[in-house]
Amino acid sequence: MKQKFETRAIHAGCEPDSGTGAIMTPIFQTSTYVQESPGKHKGYDYSRTHNPTRTALEKNIASLEEGKYGLAFSSGMSAITAITHMLSAGDHIICSDDVYGGTFRLFDKVLKKFNLEFDFIDLTSLQSLERHIKNTTKLVWLESPSNPLLKLIDIEATARIAKNRGIVTVVDNTFATPFFQKPLKLGADIVMHSTTKYLNGHSDVIGGALVMNDQELYNKLQFLQNAAGGVPGPFDCFLVLRGIKTLAIRMERHAENALKIAQFLENHPKVRRVIYPGLSSHPQHELAKRQMTGFGGIVTFFIKGGLEAARKFLERVKVFSLAESLGGVESLIEHPAIMTHASLPKEVREKIGISDELIRVSVGIENVDDLIDDLKNALA
């Protein structure tokens, strides 16, 4: 019988050390490996290409996503960059209009210079996806739930449309994590992660990962991982592996706390609107129930009173920390328009709904009563 998620999170890729019996994967802090004879070695020749601590992490994340192959990177952005290195000048990419500001910035400010063409569209509409596909379209890029507006995209339907046209679908699964959503099983070709977030879970590492089933895609991406060199160090791999061991119980608590906070905010007179996929008021709550097994730990809401009210509120929280990032055990709160999504031009932000009243909450695993108390006091 195939092991369950919680068991694989702890054991996949992690064998006790053959030399010593050490139960924890050693941190192989080495750049190179001694060879018996030129080209004759134990599978490791140089740590940009392979490192045993990294191999353990890659196998572990692949197992959680129920994919065949995993690749680890030095950041979420370097994982994204590796995928874009598969493309050539003239290729066209369709990207969801609501993605992490850094992803938009890489596509819009860096890759357009290399003659890659982008359309940022509302991928909640499959008709819009069909309308924008061209002969040169090579990639469809999406986040679900998206950052920061928590839009849901029908992964199965999107991947089916793309696959029929020979287009690769990439899902950034950072917000949902494989505990709540498995894009490869829904038909996506590549799953991408900022391991900085829930997978590591303790706000002390920057990292990224890719998982896929297709061997040809894996060969290309592994070649690019080594050729471009955005690899994580062994210590960071160790920390992410350690974090993942508790992913399942952390995600359960994140989601339980997030739902209570979303319900509290939804009933607060100073709050205009709350977005959380687990609320029946979320426009895609039915899709969320179909394609996810839980709704995650991020809640966004619109505070009444414009930028002034948002600023005052964010200066007053005490248990929540005002900071970029998400997915750690501690609760974070931020203002997307000024912080994580400042790289989007104001017109674009306004068009898609990232207003000055929007606040994003990464609900941690503290006692939820303390969290609600903190929000209550700051709103008052």
Q: Which residues are catalytic?
A: 48, 100, 172, 197
Which burial class, exposed, middle or buried, applies to 157 when counting CB atoms under 10 A from its CB (0-12, 13-18, 19+)? middle
Q: What are phi and psi of 196, to 5 degrees?
A: -50, -30
The verdict on 206 binding ligand P1T (CB under 6 A) reads yes
As a whole number of angstroms, the distance between CA 48 and CA 31 comes to 8
Stretch that binds ligand P1T, among 59-67, 72-80, 86-94, 126-134 (CB under 6 A): 72-80
- For ligand P1T, the closer of residues 90 and 229 by Cβ is 229
Q: Is residue 145 a contact point for ligand P1T (CB under 6 A)?
A: no
Stretch in the footprint of ligand P1T (CB under 6 A) among 2-10, 242-250, 286-294, 323-331: 323-331
75 binds ligand P1T (CB under 6 A): yes
Segment contacting ligand P1T by CB under 6 A, of 240-248, 271-279, 319-327, 345-353: 319-327
Is residue 147 a contact residue for ligand P1T (CB under 6 A)?
yes
Residue 273 β-bridge partners: 302
Specify the stretch interacting with ligand P1T by CB under 6 A; choose among 50-58, 277-285, 321-329, 363-371: 321-329
Q: What are the distances in angstroms from CA 261 to CA 222, 258, 265, 273? A: 41, 5, 6, 13
Sites for ligand P1T among residues 92-121 (CB under 6 A): 100, 102-103
Q: What CA–CA distance (Å, rounded) separates 73 from 193?
A: 10
Residue 355's alpha-carbon distances to 143, 325, 352, in angstroms, are 20, 19, 9
* 174 interacts with ligand P1T by CB under 6 A: yes
Listing DSSP states for 36-96 in one string gives: SBTTBSSS-SBTTT--HHHHHHHHHHHHHTT-SEEEEESSHHHHHHHHHTT--TT-EEEEE
Q: What is the C-alpha separation between 281 and 103, in angstroms, rounded?
A: 28
Asked if 300 touches ligand P1T (CB under 6 A), the answer is no
Q: Do residues 2 and 8 touch, judged by C-beta distance below 8 A?
A: no
Q: State the nearest-atom distance from the C-beta of 345 to ligand P1T, in Å.
A: 18
Instruction: By CB under 6 A, name the one of 60, 96, 194, 331 that touches ligand P1T.
Output: 194
Among 108, 117, 324, 366, the residue binding ligand P1T under the rule CB under 6 A is 324
The dihedral of CA 338, 343, 347, 351: what is its sign? negative
Residue number with CB closer to ligand P1T (255 or 354)? 354
- The single residue among 30, 128, 325, 343 that binds ligand P1T, judged by CB under 6 A, is 325
Look up residue 70 and give its amino acid: G
Stretch that binds ligand P1T, among 19-27, 131-139, 223-231, 324-332 (CB under 6 A): 324-332
In the bound complex, what is the minimum distance in angstroms from residue 36's beta carbon to ligand P1T? 38
Contact of 158 with 189, CB cutoff 8 Å: no
* Minimal distance, residue 207 CB to ligand P1T, in Å: 6
Residue 243 as a binder of ligand P1T (CB under 6 A): the answer is no
Contact 357, 305 (CB under 8 A): yes
Q: Which residues bind ligand P1T (CB under 6 A)?
A: 75-77, 100, 102-103, 143, 147, 172, 174, 194, 196, 206, 208, 324-326, 340
